[in-house]
C-alpha cells in the first residue's frame, strides 16, 4: 500500500495499522479463496462505514443513566442512506446495514459505453427524500473516478448537497483521487488505502484484481 500522504481536505485514509495491513495482505493475495476474500473484505468495509459515521454531525445531549446518574453524550443530526454503484458497490451494503438499522439503500448502474469508452448511466433508484439525507456512496475501487463522478452528478441532480456526500472505497488510485477531488472538493473521500498508480489499462497497481468478480464469482 502506498505511503503517499493525502492531507487534502476531505480525503480521509484509514490509519495504516498492523491489523489493516494484515487484512489487505489477505485480500490482495491472488491465492486467497472467495470465502476468505469476502470475510476479510467485509471487515474492511465495516471499518470504512464506522469512519464515515465519525464524520457525521452530532449535537451534545444529556442522558439519564441507571441510579439517576447523568452522562454527557451526543446524538447524530440528520438522516442517512446508502447508494451503491452496481454491482461491486452492492458488496458494501451489508456493512452499512450492520452499523445502521433499517438504513435506506439506493442504487445507480453505470457502465462503460463500448463505442465511446465513457461511463453511461443505465439505471437509478433512490429514496424520494434523498435530498434531505447524508449519502454514503459505495464503490470499492476508485480508479479513474469516472463512474463515481457520474454517480455524484446524479445525486446532485436530485438535490443532495455536495458536503453531505461521503464516498467510501476500499482502494483508490492517486489519479482517481485527484480527478474526483478536482471536480467535487466538498465530497468526503473515505478510503482504506491509496495505491501507487493506474497502469496503461487503467487498473489500480498493485491493486487486488477485479473486486466484483472476486467477491461474487471466483
Catalytic residue among 43, 46, 87, 210: 210
Q: How far apart are CA 217 and CA 179, in angstroms?
A: 30
Q: How many distinct helices (H) and strands (E) make up the chain?
A: 6, 13
- Number of neighbouring beta carbons within 10 Å of residue 35: 8
Residue tagged active-site, from 36, 112, 129, 186: 112
Provide the 10 A C-beta neighbour count for residue 77.
10
CA angle 71, 75, 81 (to 5 degrees): 155
DSSP class per residue in 91-110: GGHHHHHHHSTT-EEEEEEE
DSSP structural state of residue 134: E
Active-site annotation holds for 112: yes
Active site (annotated) includes residue 113: no
Output helix, strand, coil percentages for the chain, rounded to the nearest 5: 35, 30, 35
Residue 29 annotated among the catalytic residues of the structure: no
Q: Is 213 a catalytic residue?
A: yes
Catalytic-role residue among 62, 68, 101, 116: 116
Catalytic residues: 112, 116, 210, 213
Amino acid at each position: 500500500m502506498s505511503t503517499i500522504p493525502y492531507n487534502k481536505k476531505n480525503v480521509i485514509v484509514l490509519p495504516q495499522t498492523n491489523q489493516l495491513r494484515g487484512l489487505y495482505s489477505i485480500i490482495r493475495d491472488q491465492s486467497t479463496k472467495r470465502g476468505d476474500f469476502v470475510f476479510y473484505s467485509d471487515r474492511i468495509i465495516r471499518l470504512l462505514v464506522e469512519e464515515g459515521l465519525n464524520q457525521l454531525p452530532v449535537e451534545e445531549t444529556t442522558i439519564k443513566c441507571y441510579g439517576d446518574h447523568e452522562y454527557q453524550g451526543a446524538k447524530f443530526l440528520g438522516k442517512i442512506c446508502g447508494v451503491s454503484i452496481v454491482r461491486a458497490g452492492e458488496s458494501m451494503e451489508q456493512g452499512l446495514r450492520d452499523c445502521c438499522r433499517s438504513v435506506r439503500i439506493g442504487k445507480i448502474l453505470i457502465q462503460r459505453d463500448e463505442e465511446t469508452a465513457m461511463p453511461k448511466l443505465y439505471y437509478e433508484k433512490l429514496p424520494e427524500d434523498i435530498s434531505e439525507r447524508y449519502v454514503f456512496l459505495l464503490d470499492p475501487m476508485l480508479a479513474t473516478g469516472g463512474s463515481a463522478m457520474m454517480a455524484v452528478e446524479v445525486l446532485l441532480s436530485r438535490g443532495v448537497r455536495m458536503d453531505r456526500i461521503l464516498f467510501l472505497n476500499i482502494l483508490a488510485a492517486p489519479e482517481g483521487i485527484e480527478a474526483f477531488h478536482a471536480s467535487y472538493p466538498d465530497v468526503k473521500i473515505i478510503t482504506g488505502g491509496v495505491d501507487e498508480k493506474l497502469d496503461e489499462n487503467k487498473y489500480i497497481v498493485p491493486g487486488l484484481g477485479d473486486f466484483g468478480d472476486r467477491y461474487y464469482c471466483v
